[in-house]
Amino acid sequence: MHIFDSLTNNYTQKISFKPDECIAIVNVAVGRSDKSIRLFVTCQDIAKKTILKMFDRNMNGELSTNVPKR
């Protein structure tokens, strides 16, 4: 996965990415939040239940878990 860094006008490569609680990743979709890139990861947990995880890019170019506000 490559993420664009607007400060250096370059892409940085992320070698590995493993969401917590996920045993097998089923699908990854890329979208946008109001200020950043957002990844939607559909995966299966140990009980083979499907879960959806959302991750936003922070100011350091790292991905952080986004917990939706209710």
Using one digit for the tens of pLDDT, what is the confidence trace for 11-60?
877 656 678 889 999 998 988 877 777 888 999 999 999 999 888 876 55
- Of 60 and 9, the one with more pLDDT: 9
Report how far apart the first and last C-alpha atoms of the chain are (Å, whole number): 30
In the chain, where the domains are located? 19-59
pTM for this one?
0.62
Identify the pLDDT of residue 60.
Answer: 57
Contact, 33 vs 66, CB < 8 A? Answer: yes
